[in-house]
Amino acid sequence: MKKFPKPVVVTSKCFEFDACRYNGVMIPNNFVQKLEPFVKFVPICPEVEIGLGVPRDIIRVVEKKGKRQLVQPTSGKELSKKMYSFADSFLQSLETVDGFILKSRSPSCGIKDAKIYSDSENSSPIGRGPGLFAEKVLEKYPGVAIEDEGRLLNFTIRESFLTKLFTFARFREVKKRKTAKSLVDFQSDNKLIFMSYNQTEMRVLGRIVGNKDKAPIEDVISEYETHLQTALSNNPRKGTHINTLMHALGYFSKKLTSKEKAYFLDLLENYRNHKIPLSAVLAVLQSWIIKYDEEYLARQTFFEPYPSELVEISDSGKGRTT
């Protein structure tokens, strides 16, 4: 059985960890429950951390003349400085982090859908954007896996989140070892993942690993990390996944019967048309990897980027990517 390093994930504390929501409840979250054995969670409630009680009166993001503030209408408190100060201090205290799961629509934790108001009394929002804590997260960690619980109900988004999360955790092992061999192995083992996400950055990563200028390994790893985050910054499309699957099929082109090839191509069409998940196509390729002892493909994380126990094909249907 393949071993996976444990990613470090900062999560809103109201998910399964504490009844710290503004209304005094804890939010059940099946994904967080399922993920807990495989990651190290760092639960946090920014609103409680800046001194707001449980339960508490609502707070709002207010924007005036391009400046965003966090206010509590009932008390008139302006909480922006406290929130920004806490966010900076907390994020600076993290030795390492691979991802974030934050509360959607929250004025502190919302990634992109916190309501923004023109003033604290107006009941109609003028737009949406990140909450103030999430704003600092996105500013300091633009390349890590960051999602909210609502978007993670979508299968495609959840699959990409997990892929990024465990890829970054594996890369931390490279950073610890600080050897050229560990970086070469990482690039080789993850090549098909990079191909499915961003072929341009895949080639850039390959050139960095080649290190033709003989730069110190610490500098090479640092540059590689920047481009790794860029490579995984956008979720892959079905078209790039299919191209990668066809590339893998090429390793068996002389070994398969015409019926086996036709069956596989039918699977690809079903995947393209949202009739089956990616994992169904991967399962066929994995069976051929075992049957034909294809060592290079056997090492590819593309076929099992995260623990199989986390594969869940339920889908909200919202936020589907193509």
Q: What pLDDT score was predicted for residue 316?
A: 54
Q: What pLDDT score was predicted for residue 322?
A: 35
pLDDT confidence band for 46 (50 / 70 / 90): very high
The mean pLDDT of 191-207, rounded to a whole number, is 97
The DSSP bridge pattern shows strands 99-102 and 114-117 to be unpaired
Instruction: Tell me the residue type at 81.
Output: K
Per the prediction, the chain carries an average pLDDT of 94
Q: What pLDDT score was predicted for residue 304?
A: 92
pLDDT confidence band for 105 (50 / 70 / 90): very high
How long, in residues, is the chain? 322
The answer to whether residue 319 scores a pLDDT higher than 60 is no
Comparing 322 with 80, which gets the higher pLDDT?
80
The mean pLDDT of 242-249, rounded to a whole number, is 97
- Crossing angle of helices 180-189 and 199-210, in 10° steps, is 160
Element at 287 (helix H, strand E): helix 278-291
User: For the chain, how are helix, strand and coil distributed in percent, rounded to 5?
Assistant: 50, 10, 40
The span from the CA of 216 to the CA of 178, in Å, is 10
Q: What pLDDT score was predicted for residue 279?
A: 83
The span from the CA of 268 to the CA of 248, in Å, is 13
Distance of CA 225 to the CA centre of its chain: 15
The mean pLDDT of 26-48, rounded to a whole number, is 97
pLDDT confidence band for 89 (50 / 70 / 90): very high
pLDDT confidence band for 145 (50 / 70 / 90): very high
The answer to whether residue 122 scores a pLDDT higher than 90 is no
Task: Give me 258's structure tokens.
Answer: 């015409």
Q: What pLDDT score was predicted for residue 278?
A: 85
The span from the CA of 270 to the CA of 121, in Å, is 51
The mean pLDDT of 211-221, rounded to a whole number, is 97
At 263 the three-state DSSP class reads helix
Number of Cβ within 10 Å of residue 138's Cβ equals: 15
Q: What pLDDT score was predicted for residue 318?
A: 55
The answer to whether residue 147 scores a pLDDT higher than 90 is yes
The DSSP bridge pattern shows strands 67-72 and 60-64 to be antiparallel
What percentage of the chain carries pLDDT values higher than 90?
87
Q: What pLDDT score was predicted for residue 80?
A: 97
Task: Give me 321's structure tokens.
Answer: 């990517």
Task: Give me 51's structure tokens.
Answer: 């001194």
pLDDT confidence band for 313 (50 / 70 / 90): low
The DSSP bridge pattern shows strands 99-102 and 8-12 to be parallel
pLDDT confidence band for 1 (50 / 70 / 90): low
The mean pLDDT of 79-90, rounded to a whole number, is 98
Q: What pLDDT score was predicted for residue 321?
A: 42
The answer to whether residue 73 scores a pLDDT higher than 80 is yes
The mean pLDDT of 253-271, rounded to a whole number, is 95
The residues pairing with 243 across neighbouring beta strands, listed in sequence order, are none
pLDDT confidence band for 121 (50 / 70 / 90): confident
The answer to whether residue 201 scores a pLDDT higher than 90 is yes
Comparing 189 with 276, which gets the higher pLDDT?
189
The phi and psi torsions of 53 (rounded to 5 degrees) equal -85, 180
What's the predicted TM-score (pTM) here? Answer: 0.92
